[in-house]
């Protein structure tokens, strides 16, 4: 797995242990979903103003949010990417021979506020947000109650397996 990081705010410099944990979360998500390809993901850390701007531009929602996901692969149906039918030419980075899963944009300010609000660690909040975003990149969504339950179960499985609890 290749994880490309853009962190102009030096968030991970201040929280070095979190970057290692994020890599574990991403690897576990790929393992749980049995992704048969080497994959690459980009992670961009932004502040509230930047995520508000991105949220407005891409989702027409003019407010800050915690994390945004930009998948590169369209699933056959919710949560299902048929890896055998995948047209690799559409999502392959030929420089690395890895499948490009997509981009995660994480707002460090909102993550910190939410961790405090929920009464758990910043590590738990950031890892939860990355797992949540990874499952979006892997085709899951939470547009209805059934899909939301499935996505939450997947996220909880990953975090529980890694011992990242509230």
Q: In sequence order, which residues have a C-beta less than 8 Å from that of residue 124 and are 6 or more positions away?
A: 115, 159, 164, 165, 166
Binding residue per annotation — 120?
Answer: no
Binding residue per annotation — 132?
Answer: yes
Please tell me the distance from the alpha carbon of residue 90 to that of residue 98, in angstroms, as a whole number.
Answer: 12
Stated as kind and residue range, the H or E segment containing 101 is strand 98-107
Contact yes or no for 100/91 (Cβ under 8 A): yes
Binding residue per annotation — 56?
Answer: no
Q: Among 107, 5, 115, 113, which Cα is nearest to 46's?
A: 107
Please tell me the distance from the alpha carbon of residue 19 to that of residue 142, in angstroms, as a whole number.
Answer: 26
Known binding residues for Zn(2+) are: 132, 136, 142
Known binding residues are: 132, 136, 142
């Amino acid at each position: 797995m290749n994880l490309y990081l853009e962190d102009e705010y030096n968030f991970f410099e201040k929280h070095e242990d979190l970057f290692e944990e994020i890599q574990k979360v991403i690897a576990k998500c790929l393992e749980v979903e049995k992704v048969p390809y080497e994959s690459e993901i980009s992670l961009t850390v932004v502040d509230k103003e930047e995520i508000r701007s991105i949220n407005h531009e891409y989702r027409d929602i003019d407010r800050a949010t915690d994390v945004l996901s930009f998948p590169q692969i369209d699933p056959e149906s919710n949560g299902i990417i048929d890896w055998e039918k995948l047209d690799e030419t559409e999502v392959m980075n030929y420089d690395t021979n890895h499948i490009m899963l997509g981009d995660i944009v994480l707002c460090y300010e909102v993550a910190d506020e939410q961790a405090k609000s929920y009464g758990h660690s910043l590590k738990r909040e950031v890892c939860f947000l990355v797992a949540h975003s990874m499952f979006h990149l892997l085709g899951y969504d939470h547009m209805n109650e059934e899909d939301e339950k499935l996505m939450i179960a997947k996220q909880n499985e990953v975090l529980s397996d890694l011992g990242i609890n509230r």
